[in-house]
Amino acid sequence: MLRELITSDVIRIHSDATDWKDAVSKSCEALIENGAIEPSYVDAIYRSHEELGPYYVVGPGMAMPHARPEDGVNRLSLAITVIQNGVNFDSEGNDPVKMLVTLAATDSNSHVDAISKLAELFMNEEHVEAICTAQNTQDVLAIIEKY
């Protein structure tokens, strides 16, 4: 399931991000490049973060940036971004964030199966750690293929 949405072109590995905004921007790059989202989607994530706080930090070291379908989603998509040195999102107990899984959903239902598989992944500390320490996209794909 995840392998259908997560291909090598939507996996990015960066050593650093200057702050949470830079991390979110990096996490959306591949989806903008492949036409899955519009640049306005990044701004919508920023606005939500500023209004609600880092609600999308889903656990220690993990974030799932997303916005509403009408904020610039062209097709259901996911992207994985690793920030090797981590970045603070002001999410007590969860910083630094090293893995961002950006979700772009076209409606309220199309992404439910993907979220279920991501939840399985997020609960497997060994697999999360393997992604966070991945040196290349193939390392990440090797984990994703299990889901």
Note if 14 is an active site residue: no
Report which of 72, 48, 64, 38 is spatially closest to residue 117, judged by C-alpha positions.
64
Q: Are 26 and 17 in contact (CB under 8 A)?
A: yes
Half-sphere exposure of 132 (CA within 13 A, CB side): 19
Q: Which of 14, 49, 66, 127 is catalytic?
A: 66
- What are the catalytic residues? 66
